[in-house]
């Protein structure tokens, strides 16, 4: 909260205005917390402390974004209209649709996690989507009400008045808009090369499902593991239990012959059913490692009997299943999110071409941020592998939140395109939205970077990669690449709504 407050003070230089978004977020938090508590108590949902940490970050980041979109337009109209209530109505009418679609996009994308089978993904769906829904309602009701009550005083000591609107503001963004319009091919080539180089690093990433590695080195559990590894062998930390039904006499020897197996206990028959026998298997390597997980299929294949059935339990087997299920979830959830966002953009913009290149840019941003995150973590922090859960976690947040900026930027360009040439509409769109998107992106990235201060490595990796994705969206995709693509495509960027667009002029 302190980081958000500081950034808001730097942006608006107004103590009242800095507090309005925080009041909205605080009210949303006070509403969502008892709802989640009730749902958890009734056994309807399950959530963890890590999930609540990410939810809080999401509330402050995304919620502040929605507030900034409205505040920015309100300030614009206060410099044109004397009546503050008329200014508020015009501002609300201009951005409420974009805010609503942005919130629904994030909420629906998070709800699609219900399609995941892995609990850590599945359990995020309801708490996160409820948080976004409550924050969206707060942004569209409480924030306009507060702005209506305080009026121009909200911006004290830099109060906007029509008489003071003499010069065009945001000259930096006006200049950036001109660059995007005048040099679209150069910008596209530069962006493709830069993001392509970062995206290529994705092929170099090593993934880990090692639970122990996510804890700090000085935690007792990790220190205990090192002692076991040094004096007895790493495999003793988490032995595997292999249960065989209808096994044969040579099963113990077959298990022992597998490379990487340190020892196999003698067969222990079940006291209830003699057809079941149990073996305790100790591995040579870290039982949490990728190499250990790769032994699970080999252990099952070692039992050759035609009627034999093999079941394996233990931490290594659990992580093997976690890897399998999470990979399957990626193949299901990621395409569903892409389809959802595509449909929502198509409904809002009524342009197939725009929908395609907007979705592609945000996917490019995701791949680049994942690659850059790996470079930073591997080369500067000595991380040998990132959590295998990161790709889907980061995808949901980077793609869904990135589309927020797409929607806000392009909705401004679309409205301008109905009354001016496309190149001019793009320039004005960048000028009008560049400042607020940058402010919103910096706040959102800063809130996710807070996760890097926590002792859990999974949250550190997630916070860094998500923040990088948001910053790439904020400073490259939205102000330069998307406008350049729109200019280069010209009227075809609006297809199949070209005739309706030009008929309105």
Mean pLDDT, consecutive 10-residue stretches, the chain (505 aa), reads 70 79 87 86 77 79 82 85 88 85 87 87 85 89 90 83 59 85 93 94 87 64 70 80 88 90 89 88 87 90 83 91 91 93 87 91 93 93 87 89 81 82 88 83 86 82 92 90 91 74 52
Query: What was the pLDDT predicted at 166?
Result: 46
Sequence-distant (≥ 6) Cβ neighbours of residue 99 within 8 angstroms: 66, 69, 70, 136, 139, 140
Tokens of 260: 């990487």
Query: What was the pLDDT predicted at 184?
Result: 92
**215 torsion bin: left (phi>0), alpha (psi -120 to 50), beta (else):** beta
**Which residue in this structure is represented by tokens 């007895």?**
232
- Helix, strand, or coil here: 307? coil
Query: What was the pLDDT predicted at 212?
Result: 63
Span(s) in the chain for CATH 1.20.1640.10: 1-166, 172-216+319-432+448-505
Query: What was the pLDDT predicted at 52?
Result: 77
Query: What was the pLDDT predicted at 468?
Result: 94
Determine the number of helices (DSSP H) and then strands (DSSP E) in the chain.
19, 7
CA 264/CA 251 separation, integer angstroms:
10
Specify whether the CB–CB gap between 474 and 433 falls below 8 A: no
- What is the CATH architecture of 172-216+319-432+448-505? Up-down Bundle (1.20)
Query: What was the pLDDT predicted at 216?
Result: 60
Query: What was the pLDDT predicted at 502?
Result: 53
Span(s) in the chain for CATH 3.30.70: 239-313
Task: State the distance between the two ends of the chain, measured CA to CA, in whole angstroms.
Answer: 46
Q: What number does CATH give the domain 239-313? A: 3.30.70
Q: What number does CATH give the domain 1-166? A: 1.20.1640.10
């Amino acid at each position: 909260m302190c980081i958000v407050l500081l950034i808001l003070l730097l942006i608006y230089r107004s103590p009242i205005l800095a507090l309005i978004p925080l009041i909205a977020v605080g009210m949303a938090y006070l509403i969502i917390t008892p709802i989640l508590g009730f749902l958890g108590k009734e056994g309807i949902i399950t959530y963890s402390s890590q999930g609540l940490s990410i939810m809080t970050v999401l509330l402050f980041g995304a919620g502040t974004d929605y507030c900034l979109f409205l505040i920015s337009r309100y300030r614009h109209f206060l410099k044109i209209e004397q009546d503050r209530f008329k200014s508020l109505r015009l501002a609300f009418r201009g951005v409420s649709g974009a805010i609503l679609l942005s919130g629904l996009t994030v909420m629906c994308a998070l709800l699609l996690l219900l399609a995941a089978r892995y609990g850590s993904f599945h359990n995020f769906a309801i708490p996160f989507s409820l948080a976004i829904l409550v924050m969206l309602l707060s942004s569209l009701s409480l924030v306009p009400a507060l702005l209506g009550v305080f009026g121009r005083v909200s911006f004290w000591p830099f109060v906007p008045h029509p008489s003071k609107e003499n010069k065009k503001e945001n000259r930096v963004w006006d200049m950036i808009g001109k660059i995007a319009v005048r040099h679209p091919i150069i910008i596209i080539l530069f962006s493709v090369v830069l993001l392509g180089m970062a995206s290529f690093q994705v092929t170099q990433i090593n993934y880990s499902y090692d639970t122990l590695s996510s804890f700090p080195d000085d935690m007792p559990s990790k220190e205990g593991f090192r002692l076991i590894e040094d004096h007895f062998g790493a495999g003793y930390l988490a032995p595997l239990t292999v249960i065989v039904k209808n096994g044969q006499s040579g099963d113990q020897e077959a298990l022992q012959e597998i490379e990487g197996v340190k020892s196999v206990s003698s067969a222990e028959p079940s006291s209830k059913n003699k057809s079941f026998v149990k073996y305790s298997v100790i591995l040579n390597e870290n039982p949490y490692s990728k190499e250990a997980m790769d032994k699970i299929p080999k252990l099952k294949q070692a039992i050759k009997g035609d009627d034999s059935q093999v079941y394996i339990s233990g931490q290594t087997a659990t992580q093997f299943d976690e890897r399998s299920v999470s990979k399957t979830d990626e193949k299901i959830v990621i395409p569903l999110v892409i389809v959802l966002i595509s449909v929502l953009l198509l409904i809002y913009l009524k342009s197939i071409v725009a929908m395609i290149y907007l979705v592609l840019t945000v996917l490019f941003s995701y791949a680049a941020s994942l690659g850059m995150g790996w470079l930073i973590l591997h080369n500067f922090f000595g991380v040998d592998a990132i959590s295998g859960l990161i790709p889907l976690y980061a995808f949901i947040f980077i793609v869904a939140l990135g589309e927020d900026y797409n929607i806000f930027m392009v909705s401004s360009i679309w409205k301008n395109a109905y009354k001016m040439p496309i190149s001019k509409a793009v320039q004005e769109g960048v000028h009008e939205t560049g400042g607020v998107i940058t402010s919103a992106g910096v706040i959102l990235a800063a809130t996710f970077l807070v996760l890097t201060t926590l002792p859990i490595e999974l949250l550190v990796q997630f916070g860094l990669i998500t923040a990088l994705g948001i910053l790439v969206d904020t400073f490259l995709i939205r102000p330069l690449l998307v406008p350049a693509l729109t200019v280069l495509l010209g009227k075809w960027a609006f297809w199949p709504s070209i005739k309706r667009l030009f008929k309105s002029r």
